[in-house]
Structure 1
Amino acid sequence: MSNSQILYQPEWRIIDQSSLGPQFHALQSFAMDDTLCTTVGNGTSPATMRSWVHHDTIVLGIQDTKLPYLQEGIQFLKEQGRNVIVRNSGGLAVVLDEGVLNVSLILRETEKGIDINLGYDAMWDLIQDILKDYNVTIEAKEIVGSYCPGSYDLSIGNKKFAGISQRRIRGGIAVQIYLCATGSGSERAALIRDFYSISLKGEQTKFVFPSIVPETMASLSELLGETITVSDLMLRLLQALQRMTDKLTPSQLMPDEVPIYEHNLHRVVERNNKVLL
């Protein structure tokens, strides 16, 4: 199965939560994706694209919770007006705000299997497709000096504007990306640099945390030389998916998904409180 085949689905269910505003909490997002992984995985939901935006939020990875002076780092972020949460998957700290669009493609693990790289490549293909009229080369490789570096950082001219991750649960796969649309990539990176500086205080740790160089990160608006907003990206995304399916279905959670969501939210909140308190 090729990465582009994954994107061609008989139906794409669309759950757009990109304009819910500041009250929409990032923990709700993790519960949403886990719920959709379950129902897409067991075949009760078609392939789903979920989009969302969270305001003034720093999402830490499990690894970040091992920082020696974590509470001081969290206090610093809160003083900068940020909510701080820990996600239930790998990776490291990332910045979410109203200029960052997050997208999950939730797919069913087929008999043939979707290997990890296939999921990453499909998302990379999709982003190249939605930005193809800009005539820029979008590379997927680790950008050293960025926050949450990984082999599928998306960059233009060696400046990272997006990071991709994956989560797999019960036969469902969520391929997730954050896309920095507007704002300053280097200011976001500087905030995470300062967080690590305060949380580490120069101590040696078993796990090596990234040395962040703010100039390695930028938003799409900065890289493309014109404002490309979250809603511009949303429109491009929907147009791209429309070319890849016979049926685009706007949706919310179905009644049978609500109890699964409530159970997942309870679990995510409990785990988060345990780690942060």
Structure 2
Amino acid sequence: MLEMVQPSARHAAPPVVLQWTRQGPSLGPAEDLDYGITLLRAAQNGLITSPMVRLYRPAPTVAFGQRDARLSGFARAQQACRAHGFAPVVRRAGGRAAAYHAGSVVVDHIQRDQDAMQGFQDRFAGFGEMFAQVFRSAGVPAAVGEIPGEYCPGEYSVHTSLPPGPGGAERGPVKLAGTAQRVVKGAWLFSSSIVVEDPAPIRAVLVDVYEALGLDWDPATAGAATDAVPGLDVETFAAGLRAAYQPVEDRPWADLLEAVPPR
């Protein structure tokens, strides 16, 4: 198990959210990514003035990084996604291919910030630790840090250790969440994909996608929280996440799909 990354004092406390977007179904794989950027631009332009969180269960998606799209095997990787029932999309943030589906939660935190680059690295540590704490509260022994051979590797990935397999065989850690960040002048978007349940389809699609891209990784690192705690579900994790944000007051959900329509 890797050492847990500790957030700095600036981001040690759970973030405060003053408003939530209405929780609902996915808008569609590409539309979900685009709407996050739409909300970021709305914050930049002053249409969103309070910290805002969008929480949703995504459609089956493989989100490629910009570097992936330039590889010679990218077209084959897209075909592999479709063969597994996942939509291939290219995100504007960095990183490598990551997969998520309805057994996952995507969290978009959008915040207006006149000095948006300040605390860029602290946000990775702070949000990662918050997600890990939500998992720990649900009985999942989660920590923050890159694990060897993981897909879409990142210094602040959230992972969990697994109990021994049949016959006492040791099993390595699995990745539960990856995070990405986009900063514009006056605002930032912190987006996280968190795999709670049903890991088999994610592992299967990533095996074929990474083979097509010619990228090395260890498929054993692709998993879900239910690998460690069978029976945990998305609704339970989402409820824990909302509690972790510690809203300063109980405000109603904001119907931003009307106030800031998707493009």
TM-score normalized by the length of structure 1? 0.78
Q: Percent identity?
A: 19
Task: Tell me whether 1:52 sits opposite 2:56 in the alignment.
Answer: yes
Q: 1:7 aligned to 15, 19, 38, which one?
A: 15
Distance across 2 between alignment mates of 1:171 and 1:237: 26
Task: Tell me whether 1:159 sits opposite 2:178 in the alignment.
Answer: no
Residue 233 (structure 1) aligns with: 237
CA contact 1:189–1:212 (8 Å) conserved in 2 = no
1:181-230 CA-to-partner distances (Å, cap 9, x unmatched) read 10126x52342232222343xxxxxxxx3x1211123211111x232211
Residue 26 (structure 1) aligns with: 29
Residue 255 (structure 2) aligns with: 252
Distance across 2 between alignment mates of 1:233 and 1:92: 25
Task: Tell me whether 1:184 sits opposite 2:199 in the alignment.
Answer: yes
Instruction: Please state how far the C-alpha of 1:41 moved relative to its aligned partner.
Output: 3.2
CA contact 1:166–1:174 (8 Å) conserved in 2 = yes
Distance across 2 between alignment mates of 1:178 and 1:255: 24
User: Amino acid of the residue matched to residue 216 of structure 1?
Assistant: T
Residue 209 (structure 2) aligns with: 195
Instruction: Please state how far the C-alpha of 1:135 moved relative to its aligned partner.
Output: 5.4
5 Å-filtered alignment, 1:1-277, equals 2-4=10-12, 7-8=15-16, 11=18, 13-17=19-23, 19-20=24-25, 24-45=27-48, 46-111=50-115, 114-134=118-138, 137-157=141-161, 158-184=173-199, 188-200=202-214, 209=215, 211-223=216-228, 225-241=229-245, 243-253=246-256, 257-258=260-261, 261-262=262-263
Distance across 2 between alignment mates of 1:139 and 1:230: 19
The RMSD of aligned alpha carbons is 2.4
Distance across 2 between alignment mates of 1:72 and 1:133: 40
- In structure 2, do the counterparts of structure 1 residues 110 and 170 end up closer, same or farther at CA, with 3 Å as the change threshold? closer
Matched residue pairs, number? 243
Identify unmatched segments of 5+ residues in structure 2. 1-8, 162-172
Instruction: Please state how far the C-alpha of 1:247 moved relative to its aligned partner.
Output: 4.1
Identify unmatched segments of 5+ residues in structure 1. 201-208, 263-277
Which stretch has the larger CA shift, 81-90 or 39-48? Answer: 39-48
Instruction: Please state how far the C-alpha of 1:110 moved relative to its aligned partner.
Output: 4.2
TM-score normalized by the length of structure 2? 0.82
